[in-house]
Amino acid sequence: MLTDQHFGRVAAVFEQVEGFEGGGYDWASVAHAVVGRDAPNLEGRFSTDPEAGMFVAYGGDHEALSELGILLAKAYSDAEYLGGLVAISELD
């Protein structure tokens, strides 16, 4: 789960792509982009529940959530990796 308190740190990466602001809906788009590009094995194994000020991934498959969490943590801490995912993300 990410909330408003987390978004500001990486907002500049999102703002480089027109239409993105870095809120919960944008993080849901990034989650789907990371699955499509780097982890197709996660397809259909979790759900997302974004809001403007929050992003949540959930489901009963703890292994899938753990793998997604690792990938999203990498994106959160690596601006270049996140930028590549934002660039291929579709606005939600």
Residue boundaries of the structural domains of the chain: 6-88
Q: What is the token pair recorded at 63?
A: 């292994």
List of residues 6+ apart from 76 with CB closer than 8 A: 2, 6, 9, 10, 82
DSSP state of 51: B
Q: What is the pLDDT of residue 92?
A: 65
pLDDT tens digits for range 41-72: 999 999 999 999 999 999 999 999 999 999 99
pLDDT tens digits for range 8-41: 899 999 999 999 999 999 999 999 999 999 999 9
Query: What is the share, in percent, of the chain residues with pLDDT greater than 70?
Result: 99
Q: Quote the distance between the C-alpha of residue 22 and its chain's center.
A: 9
The predicted model scores a pTM of 0.93
Q: What is the pLDDT of residue 18?
A: 92
